[in-house]
Amino acid sequence: MQPLANRALLQRPRATITSSSVVCRSCRRRRLATTAAPPKPPAAGLAELSSRRVLAVAGADATKFLQGIVTQNVATANSGRNITTAPPEPRTEGFYAGFLNATGRVMHDTFIYPFRSGAGGLSALDYGDGGDGFLVEADASQAARLEKYIKRYKLRAKVSVRVLAPEEVSVWQAWDDAASNPGLPSGNGSIMTLRDPRAPAMGWRILQLGPGTPDVIDAERAAEDAYTIRRYLQGVPEGQDELLREQALPLESNMEHMGGVDFHKGCYVGQELTIRTRHRGVVRKRVLPCALYDADRPAPSVLAYDPDALPAGSGTTDAAAVPTETSIGRCGKSGRSAGKWLKGLGNVGLALCRLEIMTDVAAVVPGGGDQVPAAATYSPEDDFVLDWGGDDDVGGSVKIKAFVPDWLRASMEEAQRKKKQ
């Protein structure tokens, strides 16, 4: 009598084998290497972000409830009201914020938009809980997890939460590089807009309530990849692939410099480690934009997107093929890892970099009453490499160079000046 497992295999239909079904290891590597990179993004564009979903958090206690679990101030800034003894006044404009776990690691990066119950195009989102509320935009793949996270802390608070379908609310990003001092685009009652605070050139975040395309800017309709490339060039991480869930720290992810952390608000989940890190001044690693280049080429002097920068012989023509968390090594030198790769497209992407090794920005350590620069080992002549492979021998190797965006460098220098005052 045949074993059950063998009988099940015999009864299974035999797969049809075609010339494309069997690919040798060298062909798989060649196929990986010839993946086409996305084209350059337009100077002005409007992109729908299918990678993002929206949750509705509403109810009489919505403002006070969110105030205790997000990194930004949900109540009106500097209102002078004690949120524990007086009803909080919700902010009137959207903002960027994070949800942390108890140990201060990032669980979700979000945009939060306040709304008045039944106002304008939001009447369709009123599902009988009463009171005002917030639309919380998060990584689409983590929306259900965020809903569960919020409900975990709900207890007896008068708050309702649910994930909205893309047909109810869609997320868009608009930008225009030619606008010298762009203001928020105007629209009808079916949209909500927010000037993206994370970096100066990011543009606007837009929520479209109901089906349709937001008619707020005269720009070319672009793919989401165009927005992603622009994000990488600005050094702005987004989503769980770039702010690794339960691993990333908000300060290492630059959230305090992107307007996502309020150090003067009351307690929230994960606040203790975040505040201690800020006061100790120990931030040795940060998420930075990086350029990938072939080993036979010189290191780029400026960060720029070039879809043809990586020839097929480099192991990949698209940074998207480099596995997340690939370690960054220093060519010709041993020692600790210089950082880890996060994600990219074309020849650009993001990596978590050790500042004192990969940049001229010195990390700081506490020493007496002053901040003392850490022992820097950075040298402009150093080259860094990503080298990856796998059991099926599909891998590659490219060089990598980190850049510190002007906006981030200026914000870090300003923060240091304020500490010394």
Q: Tens of pLDDT along 78-136? A: 444 444 555 567 788 899 999 999 999 999 999 999 987 655 455 545 444 556 789 99
**Rounded mean pLDDT, 140-167:** 93
Element (H, E) at 383: none
Picking from 283, 345, 343, 407, the residue whose alpha carbon sits closest to that of residue 139 is 343
**Angstrom distance (rounded) from CA 139 to CA 51:** 6
Instruction: Provide the whole-model pTM.
Output: 0.85
**Rounded mean pLDDT, 54-60:** 92
Give the model's pLDDT for residue 390.
Answer: 58
With beta carbons less than 8 A apart as the criterion, state whether 133 and 115 touch: yes
Give the model's pLDDT for residue 388.
Answer: 87
**Angstrom distance (rounded) from CA 107 to CA 244:** 8
**Angstrom distance (rounded) from CA 280 to CA 261:** 16
Give the model's pLDDT for residue 18.
Answer: 35
User: Hey, what amino acid is at 86?
Assistant: A
Q: Tens of pLDDT along 29-52? A: 433 444 578 899 999 999 999 999
Tokens 């929230």 correspond to 268
**Rounded mean pLDDT, 364-371:** 44
User: Hey, what amino acid is at 34?
Assistant: T
With beta carbons less than 8 A apart as the criterion, state whether 227 and 173 touch: yes
Lowest mean pLDDT among 63-77, 194-208, 340-354, 373-387: 373-387
Specify the higher pLDDT residue, 105 or 395: 105
Please check the confidence at residue 177 and state whether its pLDDT lies above 50.
yes
Q: Tens of pLDDT along 222-241? A: 999 999 999 999 999 999 99
**Rounded mean pLDDT, 18-24:** 37
Please check the confidence at residue 286 and state whether its pLDDT lies above 60.
yes
Lowest mean pLDDT among 5-9, 143-147, 173-177, 186-190: 5-9
Picking from 388, 373, 325, 387, the residue whose alpha carbon sits closest to that of residue 351 is 325
**Rounded mean pLDDT, 61-82:** 79
Structure tokens that stand for 64 in this block = 């006070």
Please check the confidence at residue 215 and state whether its pLDDT lies above 50.
yes
**Angstrom distance (rounded) from CA 226 to CA 205:** 15
Lowest mean pLDDT among 69-78, 90-99, 321-330: 69-78
**Angstrom distance (rounded) from CA 5 to CA 12:** 11
With beta carbons less than 8 A apart as the criterion, state whether 248 and 106 touch: yes
Give the model's pLDDT for residue 6.
Answer: 36
Give the model's pLDDT for residue 207.
Answer: 95
Tokens 């729908």 correspond to 48
Picking from 187, 191, 197, 192, the residue whose alpha carbon sits closest to that of residue 114 is 192
Picking from 399, 406, 299, the residue whose alpha carbon sits closest to that of residue 351 is 399
**Rounded mean pLDDT, 187-197:** 83
Structural domains of the chain, with CATH: 47-77+87-217+249-257 (3.30.1360.120), 282-420 (no CATH)
**Rounded mean pLDDT, 322-338:** 89
Torsion of CA 187, 188, 194, 196, to 10 degrees: -40
Q: Considering the chain, what is the average pLDDT of its residues? A: 82
Structure tokens that stand for 149 in this block = 């996270």
